[in-house]
Structure 1
Amino acid sequence: MHTYLKGLAGCVLAVAASPALASEGGTSFYLLGSGGPGAAVAPPVEGIFIDNTVYIYDGSAKVSKEFVVGGQIVAGLDATVVADFPTVLFVPSTDFAGGVLQLGATFPVGHPNIDASVVLTGPGGGVRQFDAFDNATVIGDPVATVQVSWPLADNLFIQPTVQVNIPVGNYREDQLANLAFNRWIYDGSVAMSLHDMESGWDVSGKVGVTFNGTNDYTQYKSGDEFHAEAAIEKAFSPSFSLGVQGYYFDQLSGDSGPGARLGPFKGKTVAGGLTAAFNFLSGKTPVTARFRAFKEFDVRNRLKGSAFFFSLTFPIKMNLPPEAG
């Protein structure tokens, strides 16, 4: 069971208020780095599973670089976000059209800290700047997930996923620090994993597109976004695996609407890093702990920084066959 739990965090945690500045509010829906080893590998039994991921991002931009955050033009942006993403994954069937059906829900909560200079342009064209700082503990938008994992061949799996951001979180109007988006968002992705339990190697990749709606309050329509991830990991023992992972982000269409005061503002970034998983038993419950760390580079119209994940994944109910009991 540990083998399948190792990839579960990437299956159910794929969304967050990622402080990667390209869309409105300094956030992107898809949490870059979440689709790692075992991205297409699903639990082999029906049941209910929990993934709890703590996410930390710290990034900044040049003093001269401007962004639109909270409906305001800001520069010299420095952001630190600490967030928790508890996710419940329900597996109602392991034989849904020959695959494993998974239904998930994520409920983000976090504490963003934003430090910036607000840029004001007067009627005569004069520009003034003043320092602004905002931080708050906030509840993000819940996210619904539907995905199905199918075996294509021995050790080869494919998993399409559809996710929907439901805009009912704690959106703070005219404020810099937010996790909620105040807009409907849809994300479609496909993951593939070559997962060989005998050799211990896992090679996984995932690509997807995010379709952003309009924030009715700010009248800001964020552009659609492409994201891709790849990972290679080796299990050195039943309890420990180590690998490398990277991600790529490119905004496909520009931002628009009256609130997009800096124009299309299309963003791009690349990042690389390490990932490690530790498997253990808590009583009789199998648990997987996973750590990921990324460093961003080749950045355009975004913050440049580092991201860290720590995940705990475990079942709370499994419908095991009688011979496994």
Structure 2
Amino acid sequence: MQMTGNISKRGAAHWLAYSAGLAMAVFASLPGAACADEGGVSYWLPGRFSSLAATPEVPGWSMAEVYYHTSVSAFGAVAAAREIQIGRFSPTVNVNLNANLNAQADLLFLNPTYTFATPVLGGQFAIGITGIFGRSAASINGTLTTGFGPFAATRMGSIGDSITSVGDLYPQATLKWNAGVHNFMTYVTGDIPVGAYDPTRLANLGIGHAAIDGGGGYTYFNPATGHEFSAVAGFTYNFKNQDTQYQNGIDFHVDWGASQFLSKQVFVGLVGYAYQQVTDDFGQHPILGGFRSRVIGVGPQIGYLFPIGDMQGYLNLKGYGEFDAANRPSGWNTWLTFSISPMAPTSTVTPTRRMVTK
């Protein structure tokens, strides 16, 4: 994390992610819980980056733990896509689905990161990896009618399952530059598909295919006024799922955060994201069309910085409400981040700033 004057700053982040993402983001991706693309599930977990994303970091090891909870639902094509994915009916028949999908997940992201002291291309280089452990559950309720020629069959009821296990791994590398109140970054991350995944299961903690994601970001931070704004944008390329012969299209995403420091230790603000799939999926059922996914999310955040011995501690709570969703489940999600990192030396005239990536 980073400090300017006496204000240490750290932005909560992804599995991802994510990588989450997050590596999680990185992230970032919330496989079994529901995101976008195949069956409504994407690699990128929106919300992986937020405030102070591009600010440089204090060299050395840091560790972030993120508790992520989400509750989402979807209707029509998304529920049909999930039924097709798990093989509950033949993809060669015509389908009319009047059903809804509900999904919940409680995940823990662990993100160790090492920041190098030696500059790379005039910037600060850092590498990390995010792992996931948690529980995902999903269910589909409603009426399904399938037809083949003059024949038709209808069934009512529900299906559902849950899983508690580990998810995919999300490596990430960042390069950051500082120029006064302006900060810039570029990043690359991806998905190593080693998590719990079964194409016939409704809930998973892996996505069943590899992915690579890259982009850049900017942070404005003025320690004199306490004003801060960050935005990070990127694209995801998805490789083919060899189990299902399905390949998600290319995804575009923007995460942003705006905050105001109320003191040297506390800040409040807003966070948001926009996610849009820009090319069609390959291998989908004809009734789904291109199945391009979209969602927007926005919500509040609060952060608290505090010393832990000679280290810097950070707590952040943020939440998103989603809207304008297409071809993906939507609802709400919350992130609780705790991180610990080296404390910026008090003798440093222009100390570095640090952000947590999930």
Instruction: Pick the aligned partner of 2:164 from 137, 144, 148.
Output: 137
> Where does the alignment leave 5 or more consecutive residues of structure 2 unmatched?
17-22, 89-96, 349-358
**Partner Cα distance (1:139, 1:99) in 2:** 34
The residue that corresponds to 2:309 in the other structure is: 283
On the 8 A contact 1:219/1:259 being kept in 2, the answer is no
**Matching residue's letter, 1:144:** P
Report the alpha carbon displacement of residue 258 of structure 1 after superposing the two structures with TM: 5.7
The residue that corresponds to 2:180 in the other structure is: 154
Q: 1:174 to 1:51 in 2, by over 3 A?
A: same
The residue that corresponds to 1:56 in the other structure is: 69
Cα deviation code 1:142-174 (max 9, x no counterpart): 0111110012x3111111110021112221231
List aligned pairs for 1:211-226, cutoff 5 A. 211-226=237-252
SS of the aligned residue for 2:116 comes to strand
Instruction: Pick the aligned partner of 1:46 from 59, 70, 73.
Output: 59
Asked whether 1:121 is paired with 2:146, we answer yes
> How many residues were matched structurally?
320
SS of the aligned residue for 1:68 comes to helix
Instruction: Pick the aligned partner of 1:82 from 73, 82, 106.
Output: 106
Identity of aligned residues (%): 26
On the 8 A contact 1:256/1:263 being kept in 2, the answer is no
Cα deviation code 1:217-245 (max 9, x no counterpart): 01111111110122210000111000011
On the 8 A contact 1:59/1:304 being kept in 2, the answer is yes
Instruction: Pick the aligned partner of 1:34 from 48, 55, 72.
Output: 48
**Partner Cα distance (1:193, 1:72) in 2:** 45
TM-score normalised by structure 2 residue count: 0.82
**Partner Cα distance (1:105, 1:222) in 2:** 23
Cα deviation code 1:31-81 (max 9, x no counterpart): 2112111010121x3201111111111011236863423434784101111
Higher relative contact order (CA 8 A, sep 6+): 2
**Partner Cα distance (2:300, 2:346) in 1:** 39
On the 8 A contact 1:200/1:236 being kept in 2, the answer is yes
Which stretch of structure 1 is more off in the superposition, 57-66 or 157-166?
57-66
What is the aligned-residue RMSD (CA, Å)? 2.5
The residue that corresponds to 1:208 in the other structure is: 234
On the 8 A contact 2:41/2:328 being kept in 1, the answer is no
Cα deviation code 1:157-198 (max 9, x no counterpart): 111110021112221231011120111101012110001122
**Partner Cα distance (2:286, 2:304) in 1:** 44
Asked whether 1:166 is paired with 2:200, we answer no
Asked whether 1:71 is paired with 2:86, we answer yes
TM-score normalised by structure 1 residue count: 0.90
Cα deviation code 1:256-281 (max 9, x no counterpart): 11668733211111111111101112
Q: 1:20 to 1:196 in 2, by over 3 A?
A: farther
Q: 1:65 to 1:49 in 2, by over 3 A?
A: closer
Report the alpha carbon displacement of residue 291 of structure 1 after superposing the two structures with TM: 0.6
**Matching residue's letter, 1:58:** S
